[in-house]
Amino acid sequence: MSIEQAVATTGQEHWTKKGNVKLFLWEKRTTAKPVRGTILFVHGSSMASTPTFDLQMADRPYSSAMDFFAAQGYDTWCFDIEGYGRSDKSRDINCDIANGADDAAAATDYIMKTRGVKNFLVYGISSGALRAAMFAERHPGRVVRLALDAFVWTGKGSPTLDERRKKLPQFLKMNRRPIDRAFMHSIFERDHAGCAEPRVVEVFADAVLALDDSMPTGTYVDMCSKLPVVDPAKITVPSLIMRGQFDGIASFDDLLEFFKRLPNPDKQFTVMSGISHASFQQINYEMVYHILLSFFSQPAPIYRA
């Protein structure tokens, strides 16, 4: 698939609350009424939602995943989890995975109320995939299809988590960890350098650092010391596991065992060639869009044994 950006989209910011916590939501759609469903994008541990899903680069067609899927006829949404981006950062907590799943519930509450949406196509990446999986486990009626990218289940055989655990005592002592440009580069260099264009990494880093100079530690603590946090047997919705060829966050064996235990026969496992971790910012991002669009647009099976 080779894509050229031709369809204009419009963006609108929204705000909702989880108790007293204020959450930022961002919606992108075309001027035409969306007819193919509503997508909820869930971000990861080290960046807010708009840099991940709505990255704007004039010379990179559909650099924004939200623009691409809006052009295909979807209403697309992302939101900043508590402690990230524009959402509330006032509570003295580390914003763990369960808290992020709570935020997904609050975001969907708002979208269902304001847009009349009954259910969602959900995509999560990295710890966002864990948040999305937990949300689907808790609210299966709200999820039509679930895509988990850069997902990890038990953490067994993960080089990234093995290295991260060395800093676990440090993460346990603080609710936030500092980030800088060097850290942003490390996301793209730790597994397999060369999967992303340097110019894209720089624009992405600019967008992330414009919103945050630190990130919550909760997902790191959970992924280093509390996995597994979701039960595949309780995720009953159609699911897609997306694994980058070079991604170090989870081993193939870990993901395949999770995949085998998913009870819904409408499930897929795909390996993304030439991809490391942050798939939408990689050179092969068009391939990632194609995989996700194919899954989200797949007809439901008519015959069920």
Structural domain includes residue 305: no
What secondary structure, in 3-state letters, does 5-52 show? CCCCCEEEEEEEEECCEEEEEEEEECCCCCCCCEEEEECCCCCCHHHH
Structural domain includes residue 165: yes
pLDDT tens per residue across span 250-266: 999 999 999 999 999 99
Q: Is the pLDDT of residue 19 over 50?
A: yes
pLDDT tens per residue across span 208-242: 999 999 999 999 999 999 999 999 999 999 999 99
16: tokens are: 């909702």
Question: Between β-strands 120-125 and 75-79, what pairing exists: parallel, antiparallel or unpaired?
Answer: unpaired
pLDDT band at 305 (very low <50, low <70, confident <90, very high): confident
Q: Is the pLDDT of residue 5 over 80?
A: no
Structural domain includes residue 1: no
pLDDT at 2 (0 to 100): 58
Structural domain includes residue 93: yes
CATH number at residue 94: 3.40.50.1820
pLDDT at 6 (0 to 100): 74
Structural domain includes residue 229: yes
- Is the full-model pTM beyond 0.75? yes
Burial class (CB in 10 A: 0-12, 13-18, 19+), 287: middle
Structural domain includes residue 303: no
Q: How many domains does the chain have?
A: 1
pLDDT band at 32 (very low <50, low <70, confident <90, very high): confident
pLDDT tens per residue across span 40-65: 999 999 999 999 999 999 999 999 99
Is residue 282 a contact partner of residue 288, using CB atoms and an 8 Å limit? yes
Structural domain includes residue 201: yes
pLDDT at 217 (0 to 100): 98
> Where on the phi/psi map is residue 125: left (φ > 0), alpha (ψ -120 to 50), or beta?
beta
pLDDT at 34 (0 to 100): 67
Structural domain includes residue 239: yes
Structural domain containing residue 277 = 10-296
pLDDT band at 1 (very low <50, low <70, confident <90, very high): very low
